[in-house]
Structure formats: structure tokens, C-alpha cells
Amino acid sequence: MSATVSATTGSAPPEVGSAPGSGTTAAISLVGVAKEYTSRRGDSVRAVDGIDMAIGQGEFFSMLGPSGCGKTTTLRMIGGFEEATEGNVLLYGEDVTNTPPNRRDVNMVFQSYALFPHMDIFTNVAFGLRRAKVAKREITDRVKESLALVELSGMDTRRPSQLSGGQQQRVALARALVNRPRALLLDEPLGALDLKLRQTMQIELKRIQREVGITFVYVTHDQGEALTMSDRVAVMNGGRIEQLGTPKEIYERPATKFTAGFIGTSNIIEGTVERMDGNLAVLSVPGEGRAMVPVDSPRTGGHIELTVRPEKISLCAEPPGDGCALPGTVTEVVYLGTSTNYTVTTADGTEMVVFVQNDASAAVDLDRGDRTWLCWRPEHGYALGGSGQVESERPS
């Protein structure tokens, strides 16, 4: 399969011979994919432990997780740099499990950028087109167009070593995109950049993805990055997918304790269900506090973990008439300019983090040792694992 058979810039992903032309074919499907390494001592390690997922055409899809969670190995199996020990990798419905990288119509942006140090920028970007035997004039046009897309016009004759990290990053992007692949794989591409540049590049990447309409598969350990850019995120841990959903779903309705802890700051309250009040499970909490959480099916007596995000909690002098309220003592105050982070310790020693915006109506001014009430609406709380996996289909 050559790189020339591909979509034109800006249009929808290409029509494919083997797959029906409808938009329902997934760009990339993984079916029971696993990767096992054998260490030198002979024991085997499962880096990827059975993954099923379908990435839609034109989607910005992220795999998010701590180092060693299998996200890069999964990406490398999509790219063809690692062979899956089990399962199948499908590209537009076509099985490419054993196809080498140079015959797969996907391109990769490497963590180290992996530019060819002995070639100038033009030659770097033209590399793929030349191998694919694209006509000379077309190569020139497409390289120029691609460099313009990443805002590096006029840099053709420079060497990679003469560019800054951010510019090298853009060349790596142009070098991959110029081939108009069916999917672009990005392996922590912003990892080596400083914070400011990283944020600029996040917006840039999103703009470029919208412009070219190519499926992006993005690997990162930075949850902010994943939430900002992605249409959908797969949170990975221990070689498996913990949760797959839109950034909003993952942030607001984490399916597991791991997801809740890994994405943003989460407060987790553990307790037993005392009774049901409609669809609300009422937790037994020490003291005069109240805590309830919506659940799908009624249950009493069971152990339950309630999670609530720091920005959903407010600090009140008196408990409100309804909703959740827990008394506590302020143990830490961190002033951050636009907001203040309070740590409040409840009667049973649970530490709760609260973000309070320092806006015009700011009425909270507490010091360490002050007593206060943590107040939130029951629907802002979420029972971990209690409402079943949030295994959403991708948005159409």
C-alpha cells in the first residue's frame, strides 16, 4: 500500500478498497491485542494484556496512563514496530497484524522526533514521498504545503541541528503528515518541550488535526494534554484499558479508583450505604454530616466509594438545608492567584481538597485551624464502579 493512495488535505479520510465506503468502518481496530516479552531470565512479562478498541475516522484519540502501562507498546503495534503476540490489528478493516511498518499506511511522530540528522529539512520531509515514488514536482509542492501547515516555510535548507526543539517537533509532524497517512501516531511528541511551548503546541496540534482531518492516535502520560485535545481518551493501567470515554465522561464519571486518582484531583469518601432515598444512596458518615450519591440500582449495607471533584465543593459556614455537607477543619491553604486550594480534614481523618475561585463574589477567607462545612450537590458526586463501566461509543 503506497502513501500516494490517500486523502487530499482537508477532506475526510480516504475511501478504501477493502472496506465499505461508509463512515462506520473504524480507522483502527484492536481485537484482543496482547504483547508478551520474554526477559533474559526466561519469564514472560505482559506489557499489553488484551486490548479491544475501535478508533473512528478523523478522531483525535488519546491513550493516557503512567509509564509502563502499555500505551506506547500499543501504539508501536499499530505502527508495526512491535508484533502483537495475540490478537489482531485492523486498519480500515484490513488485517495488518503482520505487515511491516514500511507497508502500513500510518505514520509516526517519534518521541525523539527522529529526524535524519544528515539531511536538510526539505529532504527530511520529502523522504517518505521519494520512497513512495511520487512525481518530483508533486513532492516539491507537497513538502512546501506541509511545511506551511506547521508554519516552517522557508526553513527547507536548514539542518535539524540548526532548529529549536519546538521547530524539530514541527518538522517531524510535517514529515509524517506530508504522506497523507490514514492515521497519524504520536508518541509523547510534546514530552521534551517546556511547559509554555507544550501548551502552544497542544492548540497547534488540534488545529492541524482539524485542518487535515486525519485520525490522530496520541500517547501521553499528561492528563491535561489528553483532556485538552482528545475526542476520546483511553485511560490505561497495567496493560489494560481502565476506562474509555470522552474527556468529560472520564473526568466527571471515573469508572475506577485508578481513573479517579489519575485524572485530576479526586476526593474519595468511603462508607457503607445506610438506606436508599429515591435513587440516592445515603452513606453513614460520622458526626452530623450528610453524604449521598446517585446509584443505578438500590443497595444497602454495601461498601461504597464516593468521589467528588475539588471544584464542585464549596465551603460554607453553616450546613445548607439540603444536599451533602460534611464538617471539617482547614489543614492547608494554598493561594494560587485566580483560586485558592483548601485542604479540609473531616472527622474520620479523610483529607478533602477544595478549589475556591477568587472571583468578585469571593466570600471565603479561612485560615488553618478554622472549622468549616464541605457542601456539594448529590448529583456532583459519583459512586466509583457503582454505576457500571462508562463504555461509551464514540461520538458521531
Partner 1 sequence: MRRRLASALTPYALVFPGGLWIAIFFVVPIVAMLSLSTMSGDLLTGFQQTFSISNYADVLSLYHEQFIRSIIYGLIATIAVIVISYPMAYWISLYGGARKPTYLFLLLLPFFVTFVLRTLSWKFLLSDDGLLLGPLHSAGIVPQDFHILATSFAVISGLAYYSVPFMVLPIYVALERINREVLEAASDLYASKVQTFLKVVLPLSLPGVFAGVLLTFVPVTSDYISAEILGGTGQVMIGNVIETLYITNSDYPQAAALSFVLMFALLLGIFAYARALGTEDVLEVSAA
| HEC per residue, the chain | CCCCCCCCCCCCCCCCCCCCCCCCCCCEEEEEEEEEEECCCCCEEEEEEEEEEEECCCCEEEEECCCCCCHHHHHHHHHCCCCCCEEEEEECCEECCCCCHHHCCEEEECCCCCCCCCCCHHHHHHHHHHHCCCCHHHHHHHHHHHHHHCCCCCCCCCCHHHCCHHHHHHHHHHHHHCCCCCEEEEECCCCCCCHHHHHHHHHHHHHHHHHHCCEEEEEECCHHHHHHHCCEEEEEECCEEEEEECHHHHHHCCCCHHHHHHCCCCEEEEEEEEEEECCEEEECCCCCCECEEECCCCCCCCEEEEEECHHHCEEECCCCCCCEEEEEEEEEEEECCCEEEEEEEECCCCEEEEEEECCCCCCCCCCCCCEEEEEECHHHCEECCCCCCCCCCCCC
Nearest to partner 1 of 155, 295 (CB atom)? 155
Nearest to partner 1 of 178, 260 (CB atom)? 178
Binding range to partner 1, per CB under 8 A, among 96-104, 142-150, 197-205, 294-302: 96-104
Select the residue interacting with partner 1 from 88, 111, 331, 339 (CB under 8 A). Answer: 111
Select the residue interacting with partner 1 from 118, 137, 196, 303 (CB under 8 A). Answer: 118
| Cβ proximity of 249 and 217 under 8 Å | no
**Nearest distance from residue 272's CB to partner 1, in Å?**
52
Select the residue interacting with partner 1 from 44, 116, 165, 393 (CB under 8 A). Answer: 116
- Asked whether position 356 contacts partner 1 by CB under 8 A, the answer is no
- Asked whether position 53 contacts partner 1 by CB under 8 A, the answer is no
**Nearest distance from residue 131's CB to partner 1, in Å?**
4
- Asked whether position 100 contacts partner 1 by CB under 8 A, the answer is yes
Binding range to partner 1, per CB under 8 A, among 115-123, 148-156, 228-236, 295-303: 115-123
Count residues near partner 1 (CB under 8 A).
Answer: 29
Site for partner 1 in 54-83 (CB under 8 A): 79, 81
- Asked whether position 112 contacts partner 1 by CB under 8 A, the answer is yes
Site for partner 1 in 122-161 (CB under 8 A): 123, 127-128, 131-132
- Asked whether position 41 contacts partner 1 by CB under 8 A, the answer is no
- The burial class, CB within 10 Å (0-12 / 13-18 / 19+), for 158 is middle
Nearest to partner 1 of 160, 328 (CB atom)? 160
Nearest to partner 1 of 143, 308 (CB atom)? 143
- Asked whether position 170 contacts partner 1 by CB under 8 A, the answer is no
- Asked whether position 119 contacts partner 1 by CB under 8 A, the answer is yes
- Asked whether position 3 contacts partner 1 by CB under 8 A, the answer is yes
- Asked whether position 120 contacts partner 1 by CB under 8 A, the answer is yes
- Asked whether position 117 contacts partner 1 by CB under 8 A, the answer is yes
Select the residue interacting with partner 1 from 29, 146, 167, 179 (CB under 8 A). Answer: 179
Select the residue interacting with partner 1 from 101, 154, 261, 287 (CB under 8 A). Answer: 101
The site for partner 1 (CB under 8 A) is made up of 2-3, 40, 79, 81, 100-103, 107-108, 110-112, 114-120, 123, 127-128, 131-132, 175-176, 179
